[in-house]
Amino acid sequence: MKTISCMNIDDELLYSSGGDIKKYKKGELVYREGDHALYYFQIREGKVKLNNYGDEGKEFIHNIFGGKQSFGDSMLFLDKFYPTNAVCIEASEIIRVPKDRFIELIKIHPHLSLEMNACLSQRLYFKAIMLQSMASLNPASRLKGLLDYLKSYHDDSCGSCFQVGLTRQQIANLVGLRVETVIRALKKMEKEGNVKIENRKIVY
């Protein structure tokens, strides 16, 4: 499944620019909300979520990234703190390139700058779609907004064969709903023929 990111720089190019690989355990922080951006991060293996917590301790997931994807890029160009945590949701290997070396890299290779602009634009588009969906009080409408977006970046061209690679809890945290509400909404959508549940996997 494609998640909401598209930046994928050749590993060897990153290594030649001072990149190294760091291994993280499941649940380990890559960076914390409030940290300064010091590195470009690209996942070699594993998955990472960007999250933070509300006043009542409720988790909100902003995005989930997988192999060959980057995260936290926009903060490299701003003198601002990270607004989210980055947490590994499984054991991961992540390539890190120091900020100054990465800036030099995209100066030497302008096509990377264009690719990064396209990726940042894609993420802004995702945010706009999700804000529009979350304005709805109807849980099914929120889910449909997320599923439509994820499916739009799916490689296969068949109609209803997109398998959603997220847990119910992750979906709930992405759309700002309780997991029980997501489960009920999915059952309703299944009865209406809008999704299929196959071996507990959501097919859209």
User: What are the pLDDT digits (tens) for 75-111?
Assistant: 998 888 999 999 999 999 999 999 999 999 999 999 9
User: What are the pLDDT digits (tens) for 43-79?
Assistant: 999 999 999 998 888 899 988 888 889 999 989 988 8
Asked if residue 161 has pLDDT above 90, the reply is no
Q: Using an 8 Å Cβ cutoff, are 99 and 76 in contact?
A: yes
Asked if residue 133 has pLDDT above 90, the reply is no
Asked if residue 153 has pLDDT above 70, the reply is no
User: What are the pLDDT digits (tens) for 171-200?
Assistant: 998 898 999 999 999 999 999 999 999 988
Confidence at residue 116, expressed as pLDDT on a 0 to 100 scale: 86
Confidence at residue 2, expressed as pLDDT on a 0 to 100 scale: 44
Instruction: List the CATH code of the domain at 137-203.
Output: 1.10.10.10
* Order of strands, sheet of 20-24, starting from the edge strand that comes earlier in the sequence: 20-24, 92-98, 39-45, 70-71
Distance CA 203, CA 1 (A): 12
Please check whether the two domains, 11-123 and 137-203, share a CATH topology.
Answer: no
Confidence at residue 1, expressed as pLDDT on a 0 to 100 scale: 39
Q: Using an 8 Å Cβ cutoff, are 30 and 90 in contact?
A: no
Where along the chain do its domains lie? Answer: 11-123, 137-203
For 101, other C-beta atoms within 10 Å of its C-beta total 15
For 130, other C-beta atoms within 10 Å of its C-beta total 20
Confidence at residue 162, expressed as pLDDT on a 0 to 100 scale: 84
Asked if residue 170 has pLDDT above 50, the reply is yes
On average, the pLDDT of the chain sits at 89
Q: Which residues are registered as beta bridge partners of 65?
A: 48
Distance CA 48, CA 26 (A): 9
CATH of region 11-123, choose from 2.30.30.220, 2.60.120.920, 2.60.120.10, 3.40.50.1370: 2.60.120.10
Q: Using an 8 Å Cβ cutoff, are 92 and 45 in contact?
A: yes
Asked if residue 138 has pLDDT above 60, the reply is yes
Confidence at residue 152, expressed as pLDDT on a 0 to 100 scale: 75
